[in-house]
Amino acid sequence: MKIAVDGMGGDYAPQAIVEGAVLAAQELNVDIILVGHEARLERELDRLQAHKLPISICHASEVVYMDEAPGMALRRKRFSSIRVATELVRSGGAQAVVSAGNTGAALAASTMILKPIKGIDRPAIATLLPTQKGSAILLDGGANVDCKASQLFQFGIMGHVFAKSVFHKPSPAVGLLAIGEEDSKGNEVTKEAFMLFKHSDLNFLGNVEGKHFFQGMADVVVCDGFIGNVTLKMCEGLADMYGQALKTSLTASPWRRLAAWLLRSALTEIRQRVDASEYGGMPLIGVNGTCIIAHGSSTPKAIKNAIHMAKRLAEEQVTERIQEDLERNSDILDVDDNRRSKLWRQIRSHMSFRGEREVDDAASEPHDELPSSHIPLL
Amino acid sequence: MKIAVDGMGGDYAPQAIVEGAVLAAQELNVDIILVGHEARLERELDRLQAHKLPISICHASEVVYMDEAPGMALRRKRFSSIRVATELVRSGGAQAVVSAGNTGAALAASTMILKPIKGIDRPAIATLLPTQKGSAILLDGGANVDCKASQLFQFGIMGHVFAKSVFHKPSPAVGLLAIGEEDSKGNEVTKEAFMLFKHSDLNFLGNVEGKHFFQGMADVVVCDGFIGNVTLKMCEGLADMYGQALKTSLTASPWRRLAAWLLRSALTEIRQRVDASEYGGMPLIGVNGTCIIAHGSSTPKAIKNAIHMAKRLAEEQVTERIQEDLERNSDILDVDDNRRSKLWRQIRSHMSFRGEREVDDAASEPHDELPSSHIPLL
């Protein structure tokens, strides 16, 4: 198993990346191809005395930096490390690619070079998050901003296959992120997607509310990339606020600092329980090849974990399995979008929606339950 | 100042509601009209020996229960407490209404009975949340599922006026919830809304990312009700998971329980810092009248706080001020939606989007920065 690692992408590249690659080569039984500036990568390998490990270097003279516009940079920089690394997967020189660099560039490279799987419009970013029961996948995490119902359905299939691989469950439960559990709750796109899921052979749970995500109600939760990205970042912000509040309160006096020191093992335990960085990377699924996007600020350990995930997904042939699942559900997706929209409108007009439609359009679809502005902490 | 309180709505109605009304009558210099079943409300007032307070009862024989379909229930139950209470505001018998009952019913009642303010398509739920700098408003919290750009703009105006009133700032900063700070980041609707905000006289910050919300970057953050609701509930779920993790870890041994007990004042401090229940209620803004929706599980203190917020908004004539702001920005909203869409498409086709468009449509709009699946806690 050969894995191409973008040696130049990430806030701490190439040091942290090469260190992570060395850890992976030592522990994971993989061959690593470090892609990037040869001399700089050599220097890092020298520093780590890692020349006996199964690590080779593939030279790439350019780098797409974090603040560059992805599409533009990718087009201009034909010899950028992310582009060369992705080309390695296309040519069969590697079985997977891992990058902690510019996410947009990694996404664009995989879409342009590896191309979406037949039947998939665009790839999605699958995000593994901790839940009260273990972990769950939210997708799309931000690759696709405006999605059609058929795309949400494709995300469901991709998430289902990915979940089978990472959770080792025969039939992972798939839910649709919405504002209420009833079938009729959602926006126009999710309501239409609901019908597609309902007629598929997936283990479809129905609508899942935000608060149920962290309760671990579903293995896979589907939403469009705008909602996924906004939501994930809101959660990141909230977690950060909690962390700050804890820090401020627990260090406010010498007495509290002492008590907090006594509780340090408990605090570490909590961090481990709710921190997702252990997963190391997010797969970009739906293209012909395995791509893992690692966070820009990845530590060597996170890079090693990302390589581990890449190895696992490549071994379990997630791409091929998505193709199979798509074929099995092709009749649902074959109906073209316009016809399905029409169909859905017809179905809807026959559904009574509990007779509310007649009252007042403005008042007919408020949802019953409000999010609590009350955020319980303890 | 007379405030109509739905005495029958809420998980702990009528007890908690009447207790909250009594607290408000004692502390806030308001007259309360409790709306609901006369005998039951009388019994509660007897129990609390509150007959000397400025609290009167307005009989309403029916109740819309929490699990009822709002529109239907409201149409059938002409003498429901929420309907009668809202009618009191319309007739001038009260200056505001507070309900902890079925949110959809409160929303439908205010829309049907009080009607949206001229220039506002539909009301929105404004949610006050704690941030690292104090608090901020997210709207819409769930009243409107599919929104047009003009509606998002209306939410911005409503949020701006509400923020002026609650934060006492002359020019609160308004942001648009999106997936990146650059002007071009967002979905079709937010990109169009961006242009409206940019040409308004609001203090418009531009796009605000989810993680910046809790950093307190903006006073008001605008999104559609689907995204708002999903996001708020995700945050609620995450907060709950953190609370559980803390509880489990801090009570795992007698030693830890002791240390946690020593830290109890710090833990209470943290809860107060990040818990939004102190606010008591969420205003439904954009109708001709003041409506506060309190959480179903409101305690008497939360009800009192909701009444306090109702009083404040009614005193500060938030409704009238929204009307003024709308008129000042009427030229922006006057352009009808179709024309604006066309205009926006024209503007967009002239914008180069940093030249990316040409590359590959699939690869041209990935965003640069991914949400961290790493949720930092400490």
Contact B363 A128 (CB under 8 A): no
Give the rounded percent of residues in chain A with a pLDDT score beyond 70.
86
**What pLDDT score does A374 carry?**
43
Between CA B33 and CA B4 the distance in angstroms is 5
Least confidently predicted of A82-91, A262-271, B35-44: A262-271
Contact A369 B103 (CB under 8 A): yes
Which amino acid is present at B216? G
B207 and A CB contact within 8 Å? no
Burial of B67 (C-beta count, 10 Å sphere; 0-12/13-18/19+): exposed
Least confidently predicted of A61-75, A336-350, B11-25, B287-301: A336-350
Over 70: is that where the pLDDT of A334 sits?
Answer: no
Over 50: is that where the pLDDT of A354 sits?
Answer: no
Least confidently predicted of A268-272, B13-17, B152-156, B315-319: A268-272
A208 and B CB contact within 8 Å? no
Between CA A120 and CA A284 the distance in angstroms is 13
Tokens of B246: 């803390």
Over 50: is that where the pLDDT of A120 sits?
Answer: yes
Q: How confident is the model at residue A373 (pLDDT cuts 50, 70, 90)?
A: very low
Across the interface, which of B72, B274, B367 has its CB nearest the CB of A377?
A: B274
Average pLDDT on A36-60 reads 95
Across the interface, which of A104, A242, A377 has its CB nearest the CB of B368?
A: A104
Burial of A15 (C-beta count, 10 Å sphere; 0-12/13-18/19+): middle
The domains found in chain A, sorted by start residue, are 2-115+287-316 (3.40.718.10), 129-274 (3.40.718.10)
| Chains A, B: CB pairs < 8 Å | 419
A351 and B CB contact within 8 Å? no
A134 and B CB contact within 8 Å? no
- Chain B partners of A255 at a C-beta cutoff of 8 Å? 262
The string over A39-67, giving b where at least 16 C-beta atoms fall within 10 Å of a residue's C-beta and e elsewhere, is ebbeebbeebebeebebebbebebbbebe
The sheet with strand A173-178 has its strands ordered as: A127-131, A134-139, A220-222, A173-178, A203-209
Selected for mutation to probe chain A from B233, B272, B292, B359 (highest A CB count within 10 Å) is B233
3-class secondary-structure state, position B188: helix
Cβ–Cβ under 8 Å, residues B93 and B2: yes
Cβ–Cβ under 8 Å, residues A60 and A80: yes
Tokens of A49: 């005395």
Across the interface, which of A69, A235, A252 has its CB nearest the CB of B266?
A: A252
**What pLDDT score does A341 carry?**
54
Contact B277 A132 (CB under 8 A): no
Mean of the per-residue pLDDT values for chain A? 84
Average pLDDT on A151-156 reads 93
Residue pLDDT, tens place only, B340-360: 555 555 545 544 333 333 333
Contact A355 B72 (CB under 8 A): yes
Least confidently predicted of A48-57, A64-73, A325-334, B22-31: A325-334
- Chain A partners of B212 at a C-beta cutoff of 8 Å? 237
Helices (H), chain B: 15-27, 38-47, 70-76, 81-91, 103-109, 149-167, 188-198, 210-213, 225-250, 254-262, 264-274, 300-315, 318-328, 330-334, 337-350, 361-364
The predicted model scores a pTM of 0.82
Residue pLDDT, tens place only, B116-152: 988 888 899 999 888 988 889 999 998 888 899 999 9
Own/partner contacts of A343-351, CB < 8 Å, gap of 24 or more, are: A344/A149, A344/A191, A344/A192, A344/A195, A347/A195, A348/A191, A351/A184
Over 70: is that where the pLDDT of B49 sits?
Answer: yes
Average pLDDT on A326-340 reads 66
Mean of the per-residue pLDDT values for chain B? 84
Residue pLDDT, tens place only, B282-333: 899 999 999 999 988 888 999 999 999 999 989 988 888 888 888 887 777 6
Q: How confident is the model at residue A275 (pLDDT cuts 50, 70, 90)?
A: low
Contact B211 A236 (CB under 8 A): yes
A330 and B CB contact within 8 Å? no
Residues 6+ apart with CB under 8 A from A35: A4, A5, A6, A7, A8, A57, A58, A60, A81, A84, A85, A88
Q: How confident is the model at residue A336 (pLDDT cuts 50, 70, 90)?
A: low
**What pLDDT score does B278 carry?**
60
CA-wise closest residue to B265 among A287, A209, A252, A321: A252
Between CA A281 and CA A294 the distance in angstroms is 4
**What pLDDT score does B72 carry?**
85
